[in-house]
Amino acid sequence: MCIITKPLGKSGLIPLINTCDILSSIYSNIFLLTSNEGKRLFIKNRKILGIVYISAYSNIFSQIWDFIQIQISYIRVIRRKCGEYDKFVFISDSHIYFLIMTYLKLKKKKSIIILGSSIKNSNSAQKTYLNHFLMLVEYYTLFLSTRIIAYYNYNILIHFRNKTHIAYRHLIDQDVFNNYIPFENRKNNIAFVGRFSVEKGCIQFCQSVNLMKNIAHDATFYMVGEGSLEPIIKKYIKEHDLSKTISIKKCMKR
């Protein structure tokens, strides 16, 4: 199996590590095509082979050129080293790599898109030529893909129902977890849900709550997750007398 990502920042590294750990426990041979922060993965998991492309741009024109250049570089590697791989997984928004997807379709390879976000959804308010182009690219790559696994039922997926799996429908018991309380009757619960790490902004969340604690009397604040910054978060909550304002919840055991 071959995994393909877009240029990664620090926030994208942990999800990639988790994905690779899961897949490398199933497949004995994993090849990774990644860039920037993704290079750290080769140190953490010796079972992963692959290459790192360094992506850098300063303006819209260099960004477009980089977008084309990285796809050409990946295709060259796929031709040389990934001929025996039959499945290609696109994660971290790499589903817009239309040149790679076209090449794989011509070679009759299976392509699986793990869709974490949709350009059509996130950029619907931005009526720019670039976003219109990227929306067309997104539709084209989804059309060519063999399978789509999505975190959420994005609008664009209505066209690809037969090959789409919505992740939460397979992981969450919706008879237990459902929105049965009418919106107007719900309490003002405000939550940070995610990994307790610098790039996620969890400290800023605590700082915001500290500013609002004397105004938002009808709100309840939660922090759900785990991570390296947990001791610092607890210290901040204690020092700023927020223990009755912010409630920290751990991930539920399966």
- Same domain as 46, residue 148: yes
180-199 pLDDT, tens digit each: 777 778 788 899 998 898 87
CB–CB of 227/197 below 8 Å? yes
- Same domain as 116, residue 213: no
Q: Which of 25-39, 63-77, 148-162, 213-227 has the lowest mean pLDDT?
A: 25-39
- Same domain as 226, residue 107: no
- Same domain as 68, residue 24: yes
For residue 7, being part of any structural domain is answered with: yes
Distance from C-alpha of 32 to C-alpha of 23, rounded to nearest angstrom: 11
pLDDT of residue 174: 64
- Same domain as 228, residue 111: no
CB–CB of 226/250 below 8 Å? yes
Split at pLDDT 50, 70, 90, the class of 224 is very high
pLDDT of residue 192: 94
In terms of pLDDT, which residue wins out, 176 or 89?
A: 89
- Same domain as 224, residue 103: no
Q: Which of these three, 171, 206, 234, is where a domain ends? A: 171
Q: In percent, how much of the chain has pLDDT > 90?
A: 30
For residue 65, being part of any structural domain is answered with: yes
pTM passes above 0.85: no
Q: Which domain holds residue 43?
A: 2-171
For residue 220, being part of any structural domain is answered with: yes
In terms of pLDDT, which residue wins out, 169 or 76?
A: 76
CB–CB of 23/89 below 8 Å? yes
Non-local CB neighbours of 236 within 8 Å, separated by 6+ positions: 203, 206, 242
Split at pLDDT 50, 70, 90, the class of 120 is confident
For residue 98, being part of any structural domain is answered with: yes
- Same domain as 215, residue 142: no
pLDDT of residue 18: 80
Helix, strand, coil shares of the chain, percent, nearest 5, are: 45, 20, 30
111: left (phi over 0), alpha (psi -120 to 50) or beta: beta
- Same domain as 128, residue 53: yes
pLDDT of residue 170: 61
pLDDT of residue 230: 93
For residue 178, being part of any structural domain is answered with: no
In terms of pLDDT, which residue wins out, 132 or 235?
A: 235
- Same domain as 191, residue 93: no
Domain count, the chain: 2
